[in-house]
Structures are given as C-alpha cells and as structure tokens.
Structure 1
Amino acid sequence: MTATTLLPELTARAEGIAHTRTPTCPCGTTGTLADRPDGTVVRHADTVAKAHAPDADAGELAGRLTISAGLPDVFLPPLGPAPVDLHGRLVTFWPYGSPVDPDDPHTAPWEAVGTLLALLHRTPVPESAPDMRGPLKAARAVAGLRSVGDHPAVAPVLRAWAALPAWARAEAPMPQPATLCHGDLHLGQLVRLPEGPWRLIDIDDLGAGTPAWDLGRPAAWFACGLLPGEEWMRFLDSYRAAGGTAFGSEEDPWAVLDVPARALTVQTAARTVTKAVADGRDLDELDRAVIDACRRMVAVPGQLTHKSTK
C-alpha cells in the first residue's frame, strides 16, 4: 500500500475510533504525526492510529500490545486488544498524549523517565515475550550506512561498530538475565494525558533483553556532551531510587552502560550520515559530535569518554 493511499485511510480509521470513543467528538486537530518507512502515525482529536513497519510480525506485535496493556503504570494503554490489518499493514490505536516539549529540553522529566524504566525492568518477563529489538535496529542502521558510498564519516562509524561485542551487533544472544525492556528509549517516547502522569509509548521494540540498553541512549548523549551532567544524574538517581535492575546500587554504572552507549552512538551516527547524504547536506555540529565520539571509541577501546558517575 502506497503512502498516498495509506494516509487518508489511516486518518479515516483514527476518526472512526475517535467518534466511537466520544460521540460528540469536537473533530479538532487532525494530521500526520510521523510518516517514515518504519511507521506512519496520524491523529484525529484525542485518538492516534499507527501503521507499523511493513515487515512487522503480527504475532510479536500482538504480544507486545498485550504486555503494554498489562502495564498501565508504565505504558500509555492501547485502545484495542490486537492490531488490525489495513491492506497488509498492521495498525494499532492509542489515546493521544502530549509529548515532551522539543523546544525546551531543560524541562524534560528525567525523573519520570528513570522511574518508568525501573518499573519496566522490575516486571517479570512473560514466557511469551518476544526479544527486545534494540540491537537489531542498530544493525539495520549500520547496514543502511554501508550503502552511502565513500563519505569520509562512514569509515570511523564502521570501525566503531566492528569494535563492539557480537551481542550489541545483533550477532549473538543478549546478556542474561533478561528483563522487560523498551528497546528504543528517548524523550520522544514519553507522553502524558491531560493532567496525567508521564507514560512510555512505542512498543515496536519492546521485549526481553538486557536492561542496560534502555539507558544507553541517555548515557551516549551524556558521553558525547549532548546531555548536561545534572540532567544525566537526575535520570540515573531516579532509576536507582525506583529499584532499576541494570546495575547494583553501589556499582559504577559505566561498567554495564559502556557497550550500549557505544552501540547507540554508532546507531545515531549511522542514521545521521545516511540522512545527510540522502538530503545532500553537510554534517552539522550535532552530527559531528557523535561521529567524533565514534573516533574516540576506536582510539580508546573499552572507554567511551565520559565523566565519572559513581
């Protein structure tokens, strides 16, 4: 199904669900929230419809939907028990939640992020839980980078990738014991209903895996100088206080966060170079920061430049 056909039909489905939920729907905001190869998201009033990636597995997505529905203190609850098929694309429905303000990152609720992750990681893993897909997404980003040609940023990113352990490259099982993990944690995955608490969204990568992965992107931002130390510590302290299981209360978190932080730095760099080449633009300051981090990772094996947080 083409994007031209998908968007109107997806919007119509969102409108239909919204009118079922609220017969007197004010029919306010209607529009596209995201339209990428791995997912299209549209909104009508207080209802959101998401068409998942074309290769999404129906059984795994249904399992992820069931897990998220059973964790209302962690995830925004879905509006249906199972995905529906829209011309070969799996679609799920959700209430609309307000996101973190991208223009005011210093107000980001890092305490809520840390607490929600801790609650998720403490949840017993259902026997039917699929694997967390974080390493697989990183591997796909690197695969995409290999096709961009001889851009000077490609080589340092690929060298940093090659230096990672096999599990972080999705070439071996993740370390045990496994916990429930989000798999793609960043501030864009946080929303809240009117006057309600913050909740996680986006279940596409939810599953059993190593909990350190979920802390890897904030750790990478901190290590690359993109996240201030005070905000990093707010996140880390809230995770520890809520009983997060990625590392012990007295353990240096970098002993377990270094590899996920490196892997997610490579993933970010791979995506950034691939997009810059596709857009025909030069790398900007933020792009160069993550690519420089990849160079440092190769130069100093076993240590992604960071401040001590013990």
Structure 2
Amino acid sequence: MTVPVLPQLAARLREAAHPGGPPCACGAAVTLAERPDATVLRHAGVVAKAHAPDTDPAGLAFRLATAARLPDVFVPPLGTAAATLGDRLATLWPYGTPVDPEAPDDAPWEAAGALLARLHRTPAAAGAAPAPPCPAPAPPPMRGPRKAAGAITRLRTALTTTGSAAAPPVLRAWAALPAWARGAAPMPGPAILCHGDLHLGQLVRYPAPDGPWRLIDVDDLGVGVPAWDLARPAAWYACGLLAPDEWTRFLGAYHAAGGPAVPAGADPWPALDVPARALTVQTAARAITKALAADRPLDEVERALVDACARMDLAPAELTPGIPK
C-alpha cells in the first residue's frame, strides 16, 4: 500500500464510526488484513477496505450495488459509492462476527450452502438494479479463475530464484485444466451470479455479535460457473481435509435451498470436477509459494494438496472421493 493511503483509510474509518462526533476513546484502528490486493481496518463497529490497485471501478460499482440489494445474502455496504484514496478504491462496511477458527465443530456449513443457493438463484441483472435514472452496471465476470491464474503466476515467479520438487505436479495439473478454468477463455454456460471466493472466512454474523450468517468480500463476485463456489469445500473433501459429514451438510443445505450448480439426487462430481481441480491447484500453488518465501518445508496439509495434484497428473479420475489415495 502506498504511504498516504493507510492514514487516509484510518481517518475515513474513524469518521464513519463516529460521524461528526468528538475524538473517541476507542483507540487506534485494528488491522484485520494487509495484503497487496487488500487492506482491511476496523474501528468500533465499522470496517474500511482498500481494494487492489487494479480494481475496475465499474465492476466494483456492480458488486457494491448487488450486496446492497441482497441483504439476505451479503452484509450490506455503508454506501454504494467507493472513495478514491491515492491509487486505491475504498469502501465502508458494518462489522460482523467472523467464524471462530478454534471451534471447527461449529463451522456454519449449512448457512454457507444456503447463502450460496440464494445468490445463485438471483438474476444477475436484477441483483444490482440501481434507482432510476442511473443505468444498471454491467455484470462483470466472476474472478475465481483469474485468481487461480494469479496464484500460478506468483509460483512461477518464486521458482525463478528457488527450486521446489513439489512444483512440477502442480504446474502439470494446472496445464491440464480447460482454458476457462485457467482464466484464459470465457466461462461456459449461463451467466449465474457467483461469489467467486467462497470459504469459511467469508462468513460473518451480522448484526454482530450473533445475527444471522451473511457473506462478505465482494471483490470476486460476478457471473460465471456456479460450481466454482462449491469447489473449495469439494476439493478439501476430495483431499481428505474436510470430513464427509461436513461436506454432506454443506451440499445438502445447498440442494435444500434450490441451488442450481449441481443436480439434486445425482452425482455432483461431473459439475464439480474441473472447479475442484482448479481450486486444489490454486491452493497448492499458494502453499508452495509461501513455503519458499519462508524457507520452510511444506506442512502436512500443504503436502496433501500437492499429492492431490500429483494424482490428477497420474490418473485423472482420482480426485473424485472414494478412490484410495
């Protein structure tokens, strides 16, 4: 983040948390995330986010309008116009209580499945219809494949200075994916509204502390293949990292809420296979890149992801659960 932006973001956040009031005693803003693609601060009950420098203003406008019009799916933004802070666009949001990583048995898999189904059933154009006479912003593509491609690019960059025996099977698995899953071609099928980066960190209770579960983070929202939103849990399940009952709870809730990504009462894997492979490769690539940066070996979970990529290379059907690994 450029130097002027962080203080500006913190000042905007304090003003939003205490509009027109005297200086508060809440203390400094708390940094919730600080990455090249996003910086997120919290002050009292408000969260401010500086989006990636290459964020498309029109795409973000669609995403903010969609979140505002779907309060039964998303935490709604505090306003649908992004501020410009240096080279970044910034948005304001109410704070929600995140999933407790220390209580895995309480993970809201049913809520995640139901929220995704509601989102996938929302007509893309209607999801962001503004008040007249403003024209409706065009739905952007869901950014999941683009993010996966970015993870591979960062891995290849890391490999130019440090080798890794874990990288070749991951890169071969990536090359075997169809072009659309690598962000190299348009996504197939009807234009269905998708979150684009679903995982448990994208769910919060709103209003805090114990309101209903809602989705956050609209940066990757757009139209595309809805199975992508189910692919990370599917990949974890296929790799043995998600218990079968948790996968069943998630998929069952999605079916019960009428989700269209996978057929109810039929094998879901023909629809999930390619997105699950892509998310497995993306997560493995990130793991190797982080391990190389820290000069450490892969841990057990990271090794399981790389092993799954190797199975894709040796026997394409072996990502599917139920096949001995």
The TM tier, using the shorter chain, reads over 0.9
Find 2:289's aligned residue among 259, 274, 278. 274
Taking the aligned partners of 1:99 and 1:79, their CA distance within structure 2 comes to 18
Give 1:307 deviation, angstroms: 3.2
Find 1:191's aligned residue among 204, 225, 230. 204
Find 2:154's aligned residue among 119, 134, 144. 144
Q: Is the 8 A contact 2:68 2:76 kept in 1?
A: yes
Structure 2 residue aligned with 1:173:
186
Find 2:252's aligned residue among 237, 241, 244. 237
User: Structure 1: which amino acid aligns with 2:189?
Assistant: Q
Seen in structure 2, the aligned counterparts of structure 1 residues 130 and 221 have a Cα distance that, compared at 3 Å, is: same
Matched, 1:153 2:166: yes
Structure 1 residue aligned with 2:314:
299
Structure 1 residue aligned with 2:94:
95
User: Structure 1: which amino acid aligns with 2:111?
Assistant: A
Taking the aligned partners of 1:268 and 1:307, their CA distance within structure 2 comes to 21
Moved over 2 A (4+): 4-9, 21-30
Q: Which moved more, 1:278-287 or 1:49-58?
A: 278-287
Taking the aligned partners of 1:262 and 1:215, their CA distance within structure 2 comes to 12
Taking the aligned partners of 2:22 and 2:201, their CA distance within structure 1 comes to 30
* TM-score between the two structures when normalised by the length of structure 1: 0.95
CA RMSD of aligned residues (A): 1.7
Give 1:26 deviation, angstroms: 6.1
Matched, 1:131 2:141: yes
Matched, 1:265 2:280: yes
Q: Is the 8 A contact 2:148 2:282 kept in 1?
A: yes
Structure-to-structure mapping, 1:1-310, within 5 angstroms: 2=2, 4-20=3-19, 27=26, 30-126=29-125, 128-149=138-159, 150-192=163-205, 193-194=207-208, 195-307=210-322
Q: Is the 8 A contact 1:180 1:209 kept in 2?
A: yes
Partner deviation per Cα, 1:89-120 (whole Å, 9 max, x = no partner): 10000001010001222210100000000000
Seen in structure 2, the aligned counterparts of structure 1 residues 174 and 302 have a Cα distance that, compared at 3 Å, is: farther
User: Structure 2: which amino acid aligns with 1:114?
Assistant: G
Identity %: 63
Q: Which moved more, 1:271-280 or 1:261-270?
A: 271-280
Partner deviation per Cα, 1:205-248 (whole Å, 9 max, x = no partner): 00000100000000001111111001110000000000000022
Taking the aligned partners of 1:97 and 1:58, their CA distance within structure 2 comes to 25
Taking the aligned partners of 2:303 and 2:281, their CA distance within structure 1 comes to 12
Q: Is the 8 A contact 1:132 1:207 kept in 2?
A: yes
Q: Is the 8 A contact 1:29 1:45 kept in 2?
A: no
Taking the aligned partners of 1:25 and 1:243, their CA distance within structure 2 comes to 46
Q: Is the 8 A contact 1:125 1:180 kept in 2?
A: yes
* TM-score between the two structures when normalised by the length of structure 2: 0.91
Partner deviation per Cα, 1:128-162 (whole Å, 9 max, x = no partner): 21100000100110111112222111101000101
Q: Is the 8 A contact 2:273 2:320 kept in 1?
A: no
| Unaligned ranges ≥5, structure 1 | none
Secondary structure at the residue paired with 1:20?
A: coil
